[in-house]
Amino acid sequence: MVLLFCLSLVSLTFLQAKGMTEAWSCLTQPSQLIWREPGQATEIQCIVHRSCSSQGLHYRWFVFQNRSYGPLDVSHHNRHKYKLQGSTLQLMNLKPNDSGIYYCAATSPEKQTPGAQHVGLGTTLVVKEKMKFNVVHILLCLTFVILAIYNLVTVTLIVQKKYGLNICNCRRRHKSSKKNADKRKFRNVLQEMHHKREVKRNKEGNLASAEATTTASDGEPDDIYQNVH
């Protein structure tokens, strides 16, 4: 009997998803995803549309999980896990294996026609523990960041020590060679200026001696003439 009801449920769900009939739109379930942590509780509502009559309906819940599906046992001996209040399903003490798609189904015992069965579109429930960052995780992350920075600084210093000194030496050599070249140019300029001054002085000295000789030679006839008289 349960197997036949499950097959009927699957066929009705497929027909409802395809929109082939309006008779199965009487039940409305939450369409949003429900997230819960282990140990928490939740409830899934199953609302009958206004255009449909809710009198005399019997509600049952089915769950489709990873590799299994079947009806939920909401009897009294499972009251610590499931509780059915009218058409609303309450789930307590959730565990990760409670994750699945929950379908609400309603049947009317007074009618035996296929239209007397209604199935909701299903509500997905995910039970998963959220990742919590405690003090230990934070300290581990900080330690990892500090070690990464330390390694980066160490590698940078090694590279700078290995290649930076050569660069500095090259720059110093370049600067010293440039300074020596400037000094040589300046010295050569000074030597050239000194040489020009010496040449000029020599020329001036030669001109002065030549003038003195000319003056002396010009005065000799007067002296000779005076001596004759």
Please tell me the total number of residues recorded for the chain in this structure. Answer: 229
> What is the pTM for the complete model shown?
0.49
Domain assignment of residue 223, yes or no: no
Residue 84: pLDDT above 50? yes
Triad 173, 179, 185: Cα angle to 5°: 135
The percent of the chain in helix, strand and coil, each rounded to the nearest 5, is 50, 20, 30
Same domain, 117 and 161: no
CA distance 158 to 149: 14
Nearest to 115 by CA among 52, 45, 28: 52
108 found inside a domain: yes
Quick one: average pLDDT of 2-27? Answer: 46
98 and 27 in a single domain? The answer is yes
The helix (H) or strand (E) run that includes residue 172 is helix 165-228
Q: Which amino acid is at 92?
A: M
224 occurs within a structural domain: no
**What is the 8-class DSSP label of residue 76?**
G
Q: Are residues 17 and 115 in the same domain?
A: yes
Q: Which amino acid is at 138?
A: I
Q: Which of 127, 153, 170 is the last residue of a domain?
A: 127
Residue 147 structural domain: 132-215
Q: Is residue 197 part of a domain?
A: yes
Q: Please check whether residue 34 is in contact with residue 127, taking contact to mean a CB–CB distance below 8 angstroms.
A: no
Ramachandran angles phi, psi of 95, nearest 5°? -130, 160
For residue 100, the domain's CATH number is 2.60.40.10
Are both 85 and 141 inside the same structural domain?
A: no
Domain final residue pick, 127, 146, 177: 127
- For position 213, what pLDDT does the model report? 63
Residue 83 near residue 44 (C-beta atoms within 8 A): no
Residues 60, 157 within the same domain: no
Are 69 and 6 within 8 A, CB to CB? yes
Inter-residue contact 69 to 21 (CB < 8 Å): no
- Could you tell me the two tokens for 148? 């990464």
**Of 5-19, 55-69, 72-86, 93-107, which has the strongest mean pLDDT?**
93-107
Domain count, the chain: 2
State residue 9's pLDDT score.
Answer: 44
Asked whether residue 220 is domain-assigned, the answer is no
- Mean predicted confidence (pLDDT) in 104-126: 78
Last residue of a domain, one of 92, 127, 162: 127
* 151-180: average pLDDT: 74
* Same domain for 148 and 85: no
* Structural tokens at position 149: 């920075």
Cα 103 to Cα 118: distance, rounded to the nearest angstrom: 10
